[in-house]
Every structure is written in structure tokens, then in C-alpha cells.
């Protein structure tokens, strides 16, 4: 039952408010949050927290204020609307080239998206070189636990979340290559390209759906808890000889569902 | 709400002499689309792209390839039930069809000479926010719209292989190629659907608030501005007056 102050607030809101909570509308919606996977050391954080930093506040790993591209969270740890979660996606995502690391001039590498570098064949500056960024992400996708609590209560635990809860969207890759070995007769080398499942049928469906009130406190994280966690095992490889020249990677968590929105 | 006198008179005149039967509607499946250049005249990406901001016949959208919207920012005398949103791209005709054959046969590929590959896997397609608003209210927000709301249009295949002809021995090293997803089940469904009424103003934007992203693949595309067009397609049911 509402307290007296709540009743007064509701009465004022219904008469003078900017939103009409007596008349609700259901919209397809997604709440999403991207965080930088590593600080400047290049070591993957053992615990990545989601939905704790709203738009305009700074991501501690990247040191950059979040925009609508990183999250549509308006409030610290709370949804803006009552929300029904019907699916969960994660996104392991190399940032676009122009937003890449300036250390080692990664953001201007002429062969950033290719298997190899140009003449020389060393793979310098390329994501796809053997033992490089793409191999690292493939290995990482077999690790980790997604843990989601609302209030003090646990609602989701997913193992190997990057595989079990893929983004289910992406581009369709037809072939991969580019560059080559140093010269004629040189040993051909191998390049790799990693992506999560882009098939929407692979999404992690929440059945039955979960209703989350807009004032519930969200505690969502991806944690790497196995005994293999160490700086040596969890450091993004450098793209060239410059120390710290790793590729910037963001990790996203997206709740698919329906927002219950008041009419205005 | 009661009609005013003038509305009543206009209604009577329209009923007797008008070109369509007011109140009688027919429905049909309909797609409305809008394509705009990705790069500006200086060849740079922008932080905001506004779709459906000009009607068919305007300077920016002079023909049906660019848009079929009858009125700027509105469906005009039609109402529309929005069931799906798609994003898409196209490049104007050029002799290379988006593949830099000259570079591919004589030199090693780079991001710049790999056609649209780098733009799709590490460029504009991997970022952005699509927002669909009616009036001042935002009804749809899609992060990374080229991934989450792909064309899903069954586009044709172009399979690429590449050989270094000048090297001995000759061996294939592959040419990177990607495209936006085309499977029907990948399309972004608006569920429940949204009904946009006659003459109601709507707005579709793709924003890059974290910073504009310039096109990466350049040498294999037409060199003039507007060498890559990005588009938004609204798929649904149109309700229009019977004539």
C-alpha cells in the first residue's frame, strides 16, 4: 500500500506530470552496455561490470565518457522503464579502426583488418596474424561466467557466455585473406578471423521471460574465475613491436525484451 | 472531437467533388526506403545521418533509387503500420564493382584496396545508433543497426578468389569479402508493430556520438563524393484512401 507521501506524489504526477503512468505502452526495446575489456595494461579485467555506469560517465578501463553507442542506461544500475527480458546477448567486439589504439599507430595500420601485413609478411599491424588478436578472442570465448543479479537475488548464471549468448547479428563473411608472404617461393602463412555466431537463432532466450521493475538494482558482470587467470594468459597481444600496441576490444551485454513506457 | 464549421464544409465538398473517398481505406504491403551518401563532399564520415528527410524529387533524393517517400518526414495521405526496420547499402556503378582488381593482381592488398571489407568488419557497420522517433518521442533504438537490422533481402552472391600472378610459384591468397546479413530471420522485427498516422511526422537517424567514422576502403570505389550510399527501409502495411 502506498504511503501518504507516495499518494500525494502520485496525485501530483497524474495531474501535472510529464508522463502518464496510468496509460502504458509496450515497446520492443533493448538495454545494452559496452565496457572496455582491458585497461591500458592490456590485461583483461577479471571482473567486467555492466549496467553500472550510465551515459556521460567515464568507463574506468577506457577513460572515455560513455555515449549512446556504448550504453542506453540513464541511471546508475537501474533501468529507466519497467522491463521484460526475453533474451540475452553478449558481444566480443574489436573497435572500428578509426577508434583504435594510437599506441603503435594501430589506428592507422594499412592492413589492420587483413591476415598479414604488406611486403614483409610479418603480420605487423594485422588482427588476423597467427597468435594475434583473433586467436586470443577465440580462446577467450571459451572462458568466463555471466552473472546477473537483480536486487540481492541471482537470476542468470551462464558459462562460456560468448558462445552461449552470442550477439546473433553481424556481417556475413564470404572469404578472408589479404597480404601474403614476403616474396615468391616464401612459405605461405596463415591468417585468422574470429566472430561470434551471427545467427539470431543462437540467441540465449529467457523462457519464461523475466520482469524487472525500473527501480531494481542491477548487478551484472562477466567474470574469469578459473585458476588459469593471470596476466600472462589474459594479455591482449600487441600488433607490432611497440609496447602497448594491442587492439581495443569492447565487451557488450544486451538484454532483449519489451519496455513498458508511460504515454506522454 | 467535433469538427469545426470549415472542416465540415471542406469534408462535404471533398465527399462530393474530391479525388478520393474519405474514410474508405485500402491496405497493402509497402516498403519505404531512403538512401543518402555516407561521405560528405570532403570524403569524411558524419556524426548524424538523417533518413526520410527529403521526398522523392528533392535535390538530395531525385529519383526512386534514393527514396519513394511522398512527403518529407511523413507518409502523406497514407498511414503506415511499421513491422520491420532494415538498413542497407549500395555503391553506384563503377567498372570495378567494388573490387580493386588492379591492386589485387599486381600488389598486396591493404585495407584501402579491399573494397568494402574493412568498412563492414571494422568501419561504419560496426558502430552507430539508429533511432526512430514519431513527433518528439523515441520509439525504437537499435545499437549497431547495420548488424542488428541488416537488409535481410536475399542479395546476390559475389564470390572472390585472388591469385598473385607475378609470383613464382603462383598461389592464391584469398581476397577478403563480407556483406551485410541477408537471411530473412535476421531482420529486425518491430513487435508489437507501430502505427504511424496520416500526416504524422517521423524521423529516422543513425548517429555516431562516439565520433564519425571515415570510409576505409577507397581505391576500389568511385572517387566522387557519394561513393557509398547507406539506407534505411521501413517495411510494413500502408493504409491509403480509396480513389
Considering CB atoms only, which of B108, B118, B214 is closest to A118?
A: B108
Closest CA to B184 of B42, B73, B86, B48: B86
Domains of chain A: total: 1
Q: Using an 8 Å CB-CB cutoff, list chain B residues near A119.
A: 108
Nearest CA in chain A to B208: A69
Q: Residue B170 in contact with residue A174, Cβ under 8 Å?
A: no
Report if residue A163 sits inside a domain: yes
Q: What is the rounded CA–CA span in Å between residue B240 and residue B243? A: 9
How much is the mean pLDDT over chain A? Answer: 89
Weakest mean pLDDT among A83-97, B122-136, B160-174: B160-174
Nearest CA in chain A to B215: A98
pLDDT at A190: 72
Q: Using an 8 Å CB-CB cutoff, list chain A residues near B211.
A: 98-99
Compute the Cα dihedral for A35, A40, A44, A45 and give only its sign: negative
Contact A180 B141 (CB under 8 A): no
What CATH number does residue B59 fall under? 2.60.120
Q: How large is the average pLDDT for residues A63-68?
A: 96
Any CB–CB contact under 8 A between B122 and chain A?
yes
Q: Using an 8 Å CB-CB cutoff, list chain B residues near A111.
A: 109-111
**Segments forming the whole domain that contains residue A118:** 22-171+186-263
A182 pLDDT more than 50: no
B113 pLDDT more than 90: no
Weakest mean pLDDT among A206-220, B94-108, B109-123, B131-145: B94-108
Report if residue B80 sits inside a domain: yes
Any CB–CB contact under 8 A between A29 and chain B?
yes
Domains of chain B: total: 1
Q: Residue B91 in contact with residue B116, Cβ under 8 Å?
A: yes
Contact A184 B110 (CB under 8 A): no
Quote the pTM value.
0.86
**Segments forming the whole domain that contains residue B44:** 22-98+123-154+182-215+228-242
Residues 96-115 of B with CB under 8 A from A: 107-112, 114
Q: Residue B49 in contact with residue B230, Cβ under 8 Å?
A: yes
Considering CB atoms only, which of B168, B185, B192 is closest to A26?
A: B192
pLDDT tens readout for residues B175-215 = 788 889 888 888 999 999 999 998 899 999 999 999 999 99
pLDDT tens readout for residues B17-57 = 888 777 788 999 999 999 999 988 888 999 999 999 999 98
For residue B205, the surrounding DSSP H or E stretch is strand B202-207
Q: What is the rounded CA–CA span in Å between residue B164 and residue B174? A: 10
Minimum distance, in Å, between the CA of residue B169 and any CA atom of chain A: 6
Report if residue B173 sits inside a domain: no
pLDDT at A177: 72
pLDDT tens readout for residues A104-130 = 999 999 889 987 654 444 557 889 888
Any CB–CB contact under 8 A between B127 and chain A?
yes
Q: How large is the average pLDDT for residues A53-57?
A: 96
pLDDT tens readout for residues A135-177 = 999 999 999 999 999 998 999 999 999 999 999 999 988 888 7
Minimum distance, in Å, between the CA of residue B137 and any CA atom of chain A: 9
Above pLDDT 90, what percent of chain B? Answer: 47
For residue A136, the surrounding DSSP H or E stretch is helix A133-140
A93 pLDDT more than 80: yes
Report if residue A181 sits inside a domain: no
Q: How large is the average pLDDT for residues A63-78?
A: 95
Minimum distance, in Å, between the CA of residue A158 and any CA atom of chain B: 22
Any CB–CB contact under 8 A between B176 and chain A?
yes
Q: Which three cell numbers stand for residue B66?
A: 534514393
- The ipTM assigned to this model is 0.84
Residues 6+ apart with CB under 8 A from B223: none
Q: Using an 8 Å CB-CB cutoff, list chain A residues near B114.
A: 113-114, 178
Report if residue A14 sits inside a domain: no
Report if residue A131 sits inside a domain: yes
pLDDT at A247: 96
How much is the mean pLDDT over chain B? Answer: 84
Minimum distance, in Å, between the CA of residue A255 and any CA atom of chain B: 12
Contact A97 B210 (CB under 8 A): no
Q: What is the DSSP letter of B94?
A: -
Report if residue B42 sits inside a domain: yes
The C-alpha cell 519497467 sits at: A82
Report if residue B76 sits inside a domain: yes
pLDDT at B97: 53
Torsion of the alpha carbons at B106, B111, B115 and B120, rounded to the nearest 10? 160
pLDDT at B223: 59
Report if residue A214 sits inside a domain: yes
Minimum distance, in Å, between the CA of residue B11 and any CA atom of chain A: 30
Report if residue A135 sits inside a domain: yes
Amino acid at each position: 500500500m502506498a504511503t501518504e507521501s507516495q499518494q500525494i506524489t502520485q496525485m501530483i504526477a497524474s495531474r501535472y506530470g510529464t508522463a502518464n503512468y496510468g496509460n502504458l505502452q509496450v515497446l520492443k526495446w533493448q538495454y545494452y552496455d559496452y565496457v572496455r575489456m582491458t585497461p591500458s595494461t592490456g590485461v583483461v579485467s577479471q571482473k567486467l561490470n555492466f549496467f553500472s555506469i550510465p551515459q556521460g560517465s567515464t568507463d574506468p578501463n577506457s577513460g572515455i565518457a560513455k555515449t549512446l553507442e556504448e550504453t542506453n542506461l540513464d541511471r546508475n544500475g537501474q533501468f529507466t522503464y519497467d522491463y521484460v527480458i526475453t533474451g540475452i546477448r553478449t558481444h566480443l567486439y574489436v573497435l572500428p579502426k578509426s577508434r583504435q589504439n594510437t599506441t603503435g599507430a594501430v589506428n592507422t595500420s594499412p592492413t589492420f583488418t587483413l591476415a598479414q601485413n604488406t611486403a614483409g609478411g610479418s603480420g605487423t599491424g594485422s588482427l588476423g596474424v597467427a597468435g594475434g588478436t583473433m586467436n586470443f578472442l577465440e580462446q577467450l570465448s571459451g572462458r568466463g561466467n555471466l552473472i546477473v543479479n537483480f536486487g540481492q537475488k541471482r537470476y542468470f548464471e551462464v558459462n562460456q557466455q560468448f558462445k552461449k549468448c552470442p550477439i546473433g547479428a553481424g556481417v556475413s563473411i564470404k572469404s578472408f585473406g589479404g597480404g601474403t608472404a614476403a616474396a615468391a617461393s616464401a612459405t605461405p602463412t596463415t591468417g585468422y578471423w574470429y566472430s561470434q555466431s551471427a545467427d539470431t537463432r543462437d540467441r540465449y532466450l529467457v523462457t519464461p521471460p523475466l520482469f524487472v521493475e525500473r527501480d531494481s538494482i542491477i548487478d551484472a558482470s562477466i567474470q574469469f574465475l578459473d585458476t588459469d587467470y593471470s596476466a600472462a594468459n589474459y594479455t591482449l597481444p600487441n600488433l607490432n613491436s611497440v609496447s602497448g600496441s594491442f587492439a581495443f576490444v569492447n565487451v557488450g551485454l544486451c538484454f532483449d525484451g519489451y519496455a513498458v513506457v508511460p504515454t506522454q | 472531437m467535433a469538427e469545426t464549421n470549415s472542416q465540415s464544409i471542406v469534408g462535404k465538398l471533398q465527399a462530393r467533388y474530391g479525388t478520393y473517398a474519405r474514410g474508405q481505406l485500402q491496405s497493402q504491403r509497402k516498403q519505404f526506403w531512403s538512401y543518402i551518401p555516407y561521405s560528405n563532399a570532403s570524403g569524411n564520415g558524419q556524426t548524424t545521418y538523417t533518413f526520410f528527410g527529403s521526398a522523392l524529387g528533392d535535390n538530395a533524393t531525385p529519383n526512386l533509387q534514393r527514396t519513394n517517400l511522398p512527403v518529407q518526414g511523413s507518409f502523406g495521405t497514407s498511414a503506415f503500420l511499421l513491422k520491420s526496420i532494415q538498413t542497407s547499402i549500395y555503391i553506384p556503378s563503377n567498372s570495378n564493382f567494388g573490387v580493386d582488381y588492379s591492386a589485387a593482381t599486381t600488389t598486396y592488398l591493404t585495407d584501402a584496396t579491399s573494397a568494402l571489407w574493412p568498412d563492414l568488419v571494422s568501419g561504419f557497420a560496426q558502430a552507430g545508433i539508429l533511432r526512430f522517433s514519431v513527433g518528439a518521442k523515441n520509439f525504437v533504438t537499435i545499437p549497431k543497426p547495420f548488424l542488428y537490422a541488416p537488409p535481410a533481402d536475399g542479395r546476390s552472391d559475389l564470390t572472390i578468389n585472388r591469385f598473385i600472378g607475378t609470383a613464382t610459384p603462383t598461389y592464391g591468397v584469398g581476397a577478403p569479402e563480407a556483406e551485410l546479413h541477408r537471411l530473412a530471420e535476421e531482420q529486425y522485427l518491430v513487435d508489437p508493430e507501430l502505427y504511424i498516422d496520416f500526416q504524422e511526422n517521423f524521423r529516422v537517424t543513425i548517429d555516431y556520438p562516439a565520433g564519425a567514422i571515415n570510409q576505409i576502403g577507397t581505391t576500389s570505389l568511385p572517387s566522387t563524393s557519394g561513393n557509398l550510399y547507406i539506407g534505411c527501409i521501413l517495411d510494413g502495411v500502408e493504409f491509403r484512401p480509396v480513389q
